[in-house]
Amino acid sequence: MPAAAVGKAPKVKALRPGQVVTNTLGTGGASKPRGYSSFIEFYRAATRARDPPCFAAGCRGRGTSGGHVKLAPSPLLAAFKLSWYIVPACPAHNKRSSCGSYQVKAGTLAVRVETSLADRVCSLPADGKKLVAAAMGKHHL
């Protein structure tokens, strides 16, 4: 068992209102946090938010799923960030995941999630594709 997983509270980070986060790709197969059945359950335990909203600015949906995001304003920049955070999102915002960047509301808390080396390796091709798409101008930067 990795030492980091034992007895260490997850890192919770308060985001700035309007800060832009980018959904990550290739995390569908990421292993769930140890001891939790889902990422949203992990998020609720870390923040004590029982029924978090979708944190996309202007959205009135409920944060029913834990979206994997990187704290970067574009897919291009996200490709260079290694830390992943969980931010609750409604189904629409979570589904838009494919490289969608969005601004967050005031009061958004993101919970850092540890990723195994295997998960990171699995996500690399997706990050690479984002990079290529961004370079070809398919996504605004």
Residues found near Zn ion in the complex (CB under 5 A): 54, 56, 59, 61, 90, 93
Q: In angstroms, what is the minimal distance from the CB of 74 to Zn ion?
A: 20
61 vs 73, beta carbon nearer Zn ion: 61
Q: Which is nearer to Zn ion, 70 or 93 (CB)?
A: 93
CB of 40 to Zn ion, least distance (A): 14
CB-based contacts of 43: which residues, under 8 Å, 6+ apart?
49, 52, 66, 86, 87, 88, 111
Are 56 and 103 spatial neighbours (Cβ–Cβ below 8 Å)?
yes
Q: What angle do CA 126, 119, 62 make, to 5 degrees?
A: 80
According to DSSP, the residues that pair with 22 across neighbouring strands are 70, 101
Pairing of strands 20-23, 84-89: unpaired
Query: Which residue number, 76 or 93, has a Cβ lying nearer to Zn ion?
Result: 93
Residue 47 CB, nearest approach to Zn ion (Å): 17
Give least dist CB 25 to Zn ion, A.
18
CB-count burial class (<10 Å; 0-12, 13-18, 19+) for 138: exposed
- Name which of 53 and 75 has its Cβ closer to Zn ion: 53
